[in-house]
Amino acid sequence: AHVALAAVKLWREFDLPGGERGFRKAIDLNPGYATAHLWLSLYLAAVEMIDESLSEIKLAHELDPLSRVINLNLARVFYFARQYDESIEQCRKTIEMYPDYLIAHRRLGIAYGEKGMFEEAEAEFKKTLSLSATDTETMSAMGYAYAAAGRIEDARNVLDRILEISKEAYVSPYSLARIHVGLGEIDEAFEQLEKTYQERHGILIYLKVEAAFDRIRSDPRFPDLLRRIGLR
């Protein structure tokens, strides 16, 4: 119950101190509860306490080594730490255990993209979309990678496809923001990030460690958004 309430505080209310307290209280009550260590790790990553985050996620992995979510998030924390080789290796291990785990394929493609391994990234995103052809989060990551590789027309085609899907189903504005950043459309990116904030989407707590947004950190709108989220 403490972990569940802390999750709401962190990812919905942007109450980062409240989230941390709840996760730590749960660990005090049950030090062997892997989920509490996992979610504390994600909080620590969000506030750039990367060494502590890695320690917590590795402990969670020791407690529950077969959890696909924990295996995936070990790769994710390596990614936040900019340890892309380790992230790629952990994604591969996760996929070996769970071959059809869509999010692991997406995460592997993202890590490849940040290493500049764009052919490998494209192949992995296509594998992901073979599992779910309308997964807009994967399309977003793919569009961003296309833009980073200089394949502007391909990136715009992906963006157009996401916008078509948005006419029939919900699409997170965060997904649109990522592609706009890749295309250098900074005003449009901040417009979509503001919409994401208004939706109280928990993905925003990772803005300080998400590599896709490195190129807009110097914009004065970025620290203002961080402040409103509760990141300092």
Per-residue pLDDT reduced to its tens digit, 113-170: 999 999 999 999 999 999 999 999 999 999 999 999 999 999 999 999 999 999 999 9
Chain centroid offset of residue 123 CA:
20
Burial of 218 (0-12, 13-18, 19+ CB in 10 A): exposed
What is the share, in percent, of the chain residues with pLDDT greater than 90? 100
Distance CA 89, CA 215 (A): 26
Number of neighbours of residue 53 by Cβ within 10 angstroms: 25
The answer, yes or no, to whether residue 188 has pLDDT greater than 80, is yes
| Confidence grade of residue 232 (pLDDT, cut at 50, 70, 90) | confident
Mean pLDDT of the chain: 97
Is the alpha carbon torsion for 93, 94, 96, 102 positive or negative? Answer: negative
**Separation between Cα atoms, residue 196 and residue 202, nearest integer Å:** 9
Task: State the pLDDT at residue 19.
Answer: 98
Given pLDDT bands bounded at 50, 70 and 90, which one contains residue 185? very high
